[in-house]
Structure 1
Amino acid sequence: MTKTTAVVPVEGREAYSAVEHQLGVLFRRSRALSAEMRRAVHPELDAGAYGLLVRIHEAAPARPSDLAAYYGIGKATISRQLKVLEMLGLIERAPDPVDGRAHFLELTDEGQQRLDRARRARQERFRALLDTWPEDEVRLLADMLSRFNALTETF
């Protein structure tokens, strides 16, 4: 006769499960929104390129090696992705004045305009979604997400 034991839930486990579930829903919906965003920037932009474009904007002027390190991917992979962004006219290369072998990446005027339009549309969408919430609750959500994101950077 085999004896089975019941699993006793650890106190508070339900709250962690609920967070995990809700984050899963958020991430799935975020991927769908990102797909819309990348198509709004350029119809030929692939899935990872939108985030890369945003990172170049944030870190400009950015070196390809720094971008590869940031995303934890190889230089060959980042080079392929950058080549597509460059062919689409969204980024441009400039020589590094200190190291003639290296170059920096920045958004082109076209890339900046397309990114700005897509970001404004996304912000308007979030505002429409959250417009029924009191502003202090929206601020609390932003603060909590910021705290969570800070945790994930070091985990």
Structure 2
Amino acid sequence: MNEHLPETLRAVEDELAALLRRGRALSWEIAREVHPNLEPNAYGLLLWLRRCGSIRLTDLAVRLGIGKGTLSRQIHGLEGLGLVRRDPDPDDRRAAQLSLTEEGTRRFDAARAARLGQMRRTMESWPRRDVEEFARLLHRFNETF
């Protein structure tokens, strides 16, 4: 094992802690942009729904690694805000497909555009290859963590 690895891992931990701290603050900010009553952790659910288009609750729970009961409560709150809807699953009438409402899509896209603009301004001085490498390494870290 590399003798400098523990020091390097501590540096990664420090930077990851700073990123998570900023991420929590940003989650509050973005959630409020989507809807004044949106909980910060719900933004991630909206992101998945926007990415998937339509997905069953059980499949979304598996992807997110959370229980169906917890997810169902969170989805219920999003439905109450008019951001998410449940439609009958055409393949299984006992199940439902979740998707963003038109209002949910509009609000999510507006908040996301603002966030991407902020990221663009933050990274505009970076060489394109560095941004690509950063994205690749973050993906690798998230996939293996």
What TM-score, normalized by structure 1, do the two folds share?
0.85
Name the aligned partner's letter for residue 75 of structure 1. K
1:151 to 1:75, Cα distance in 2 relative to 1, 3 A: closer
Of residues 34, 38, 54, the one that matches 1:41 is: 34
Trace 1:99-138 onto structure 2 (pairs within 5 A): 99-138=92-131
Distance 2:129 2:42 in 1: 34
Distance 1:110 1:146 in 2: 30
SS in 1 for 2:97: strand
Distance 1:142 1:79 in 2: 31
Of residues 58, 65, 73, the one that matches 1:72 is: 65
Percent of aligned pairs with the same residue?
Answer: 47
Name the aligned partner's letter for residue 131 of structure 1. E
Of residues 52, 55, 70, the one that matches 1:59 is: 52
- Preserved CA contact (<8 Å) 2:61 2:67: yes
Query: Which has the higher mean CA deviation after the structures are superposed, 111-120 or 45-54?
Result: 45-54
Distance 2:83 2:137 in 1: 33
Aligned length: 144
Distance 1:27 1:34 in 2: 10
- Preserved CA contact (<8 Å) 2:27 2:41: no
- Preserved CA contact (<8 Å) 2:85 2:101: yes
Question: In proportion to residue count, which structure has more strand?
Answer: 2
Aligned-residue CA RMSD in angstroms?
Answer: 1.6
Larger Rg: 1 or 2?
A: 1
- Unaligned runs of 5+ residues in structure 1 are 1-9
SS in 1 for 2:36: coil
- Unaligned runs of 5+ residues in structure 2 are none
SS in 1 for 2:85: strand
Of residues 10, 23, 47, the one that matches 1:30 is: 23
What residue in structure 2 maps to residue 7 of structure 1? none
Deviation at 1:66, TM superposition (A): 1.7
What TM-score, normalized by structure 2, do the two folds share?
0.90
Post-superposition CA distance 1:6-47 (Å, at most 9, x none): xxxx43321111111111111111111111111111110012
